[in-house]
Structures are given as C-alpha cells and as structure tokens.
Structure 1
Amino acid sequence: MPIPIEFFRGVCAVLITYFLFKALNIFDIHTRKKLEQQIRNQAQSEKMASLGLLSAGVAHEINSPLTNASLNMQMMRSQFKAVLNDEKIQKKLDAIDRNIERASIIAKELLQFSQTRESILSPMDVNQVLDSAIAQMDDKFSNIKILRRQAYLPKVKLNAAKLEQVFLNVMNNSVEAMKNVGELSLITKKVTNEVHIVISDNGTGISPEHLLKVFDPFFTTKKTDTGTGLGLSICHGIIEQHAGTITLMNNKKGGVDTTIKLLIA
C-alpha cells in the first residue's frame, strides 16, 4: 500500500521545524536579545521620524493662531481696563492666558521634537556640557545632595546645546520625582570605546509597565496641565542623532538610573 503524500509532507514539516530550532540555538541568549533590541530600536526610529514630520506641521499650523490670540488678549486688557475690572472677568481672562501659554509650550516642544535630527556635531568634553547643565539647575538643587563623580574623558562628537537639553530634562525629572528633596548622583566614565553618563536619583521610581513607554511621544504620568509627554521623546531623538543610546531602569534606592552612552570621537 503506497504511503500517502500527506505523510511525507508532515514529516518534512517536522524536520524543517526541528532544524530551524537547532539553527536558532546557535545564537546564544545574549545575541538574540541584542537582535531583538536592534529591531525595537529600528521600529522606534522609524516611528519617531514619521512623528517628527507630523509634529513640525502641527506646530507651524497652531503657532500662528496662538500668537494672534495672545496679541488680542493683550489688546483687550489694554483697551478695556475699566470694563475688565470685575474680578470674575479677570479670573476668566487669566485662565485664557494660562491656556494660551500652555498651548504655546506644547507647540514649542513639538518643534523641538521635530528638529532633534538636525544638528552639527563637534568633538567636545562631555564633562563640560554636564557641568554647564548642573550650574543651570542650581536654584532647583537647594535641598538636593549632589554626588558628582567624573573621570578624564576623551572627546565625543556632540552638539553641546542639545546634549545639555537632555541633561537638563533628565535632572529636572529626577528633582520632580524626589519632590525637590533627595540625593542625585552624576557619574561620567569611559567604558571601552564609549563615554557613559549615569544620572541616578532616589525618587519614586517608574512602574514596569510605564518603563516600556517612557520614550513614546505624548506619554506622561504627570498631570495634564504640567506635562506634555514629549520631554523624554525629545531626549531619545537627540541621543539617537548622536549615534548613542539612552535607557531608564529602576535602582536599589527606589529611584531611577538614566544611562546615556555615546561613542568616542
């Protein structure tokens, strides 16, 4: 009795599956994880590029009417002082001003988000850029203990203004997470062919499900009137433009470690 062709097909399918699994096992776990991360990074880059174009268009479209609204509010306050003396009317006008200001901030951040891939890089010392950012945060560090550890670093090709923006954003997030009181560790070091910057706080940390979304545009755990959800997305775009990486993970102190890795020039 002849053996049905379906039997041979089934056997072939099993053998192919078996040898595929054997081939996959050639790669160790570390290699597979690295490949998976590269795929995720590529998908993130493509998504960010598309959103960047969209963000630029939206920002330009809303900036003009926002400017007009702000000018009209100023004219109203100037020309109708007597009529607008009523406290209730003043409160309503103040609320309108706050909303216009917030919308302007969002438009500005949308433009920043769209421009993270446009930059000229020059060899510089990362320590100088970080120290400049720390100096700008001085007023927010009044109740924060700063632990600064730095090593001699070879130069990195970077845009100082944009990298400083990343440091300011990360440090500001840490200060907010610590509710303006705590310990902030700032470490720079050379690791093989990279410069590593590690910013650590002892704040409230980030839930595991949120850690997966922190670089997504418009994702925020802050109140809607205080956060746009673009800060870390902008940071991600800037570091990517520097051919580096930025990662966030919870630490043993209950806070967050932000690690930035940049290639040596």
Structure 2
Amino acid sequence: MSYVTSNQPTGTPTWIELDVTDLRRAKDFYAALFGWEYRAGAPGAGQYTLCLLRGRPVAGLMPVTEPAAPASSSAGLWRVYLATDDCDGTAKRVTDAGGTVFQGPQDVGDRGRAALVTDPGGAEFGLWEGRARLGCEIVNEPGSLVRNDLTTPDAGPARAFYPAVFDFTLDSNEDLPGVDFSFLRRPDGHEIGGIMSVPDAPSAAWQTLFEVADADAAVERALAAGGTAGTPADNVYVRMAEITDPFGNSFQVGARPRSGE
C-alpha cells in the first residue's frame, strides 16, 4: 500500500482532476473502472467531488457547463498538479522561465494554494501548495495515479523549462530504443516523470497513467461502462492500454508484470 501522509517534495505530481460536463455519469464510469467511491470536496466548493480509494482521496472531478476549448492542451485530459512548498515563488519561476500563469496563485479555502500555468509549449498543469489537503493520498497501486509524462512536438523548450522551474535533472532512457524520451528527476534523484518528443503530436500535454491490476480486464470494464479503448500492449515496464471515457477524456492504464513473467 502506498499512502501519502505529508506534502510531496516540490515538483512531484501530487493531484489530478478532470473537468466533467455530466458528474453523475462520470462517477458511474470511474466507479465501474477503478472501484472509486465519492464525497463532496468541501463546504463552499460547489459540486467539486473527491474520488476515493479505501476512503482516501486519489483524484477530483470538477463539474463544468462546457468542456475546455479545443485549443487548450488540457481539453480531454486529466489535469496534473505538481507540488510546491511556495506556490507564489514557483509561479514566478514559471514566468521567468518563459511559461504563463493564467489563474492564481490563490487560496482554495483552507485546503491549499493553487495556480494554473502553461509551459512555453502550451502544456497546462497546476501548482499545489498543500495545507489541509495534501493531494493524492494513495498512489502507485491499482485504482490510483502511477505516472505523468509530458508529450510534446518540440521537446527542447520543455527540457529547458522544467529544470529551471523545479531544479529537475534530465536523464536519457536506454530502455526504449528509438524513442526520444528524457526522465525528469528531483534534486534528490527521484524520478517524477519524463518528457517524450512526439513530432506529430497536435499539442504539448501532460498525460496521466493509472495503475490497474490487469490491463485487459480494465479495458473490458471501460467498454462495458460506455468508454472506448485501444488494445493492450506490452512494453519493458507495463502492459498498457489507452482508454477514453464516455465524454472524450483520454488516459492510460497500466499493469505491472506479474511475478515470474
């Protein structure tokens, strides 16, 4: 079990949320897929809904009247928030490094302080300075967040931007020959994700990978609940599949190799 009991170090993916136009149907779909339960985010937070695994928050659903504009890199994707112990200071580093702050920094009740920003390539992400709410309290196990990676048609600006903002270091990946991928590591050496160059990608965007126990079974559940899915495929790390929920939001699921395989 991977419980998070304190704020994550700066730069670590710490929270994910999804804009949804039909909260009831979204809750039904993700409950069927991941076994999530739900509760209201907080008094005064409107219909913001926390997604729970064993009673602990693992994600959020944000009801909206219209989906994000197609030009937005977050349209149809889960939004990732990177941890910071100083939201205002990190927001300034974002702009100093060529990014844009388009919302905040602002307090979110007593729960934390947040900002929404884009990197120089237009990829949107959030900053989260946790207070009463840490972020995801379970990670790296079935039904929870396991990884976020940036895909971008032009990796150069991103590989300069994220180290400048978060003091990340970059490592090449020898496990995926022919793939232009760089690991992002915190100053303590911990890997938080990576940057993948995809020249024909329509835009730069942060992708979300959820862990599942069985990728093939997860695809079957997604299809039965009204989503669509690609065929699961193996790589050197996991067996993965692309899933799209009934509202057009895409993400990936991945299952670790079984012991002995």
Q: Please report the TM-score for the alignment, with normalisation by the length of structure 1.
A: 0.25
Greater helix content: 1
Q: Who wins on radius of gyration, i.e. which is larger?
A: 1
Relative contact order (C-alpha < 8 Å, sep 6+): which is higher? 2
Q: TM-score, normalised by structure 2?
A: 0.25
Q: Which structure shows the higher strand fraction?
A: 2
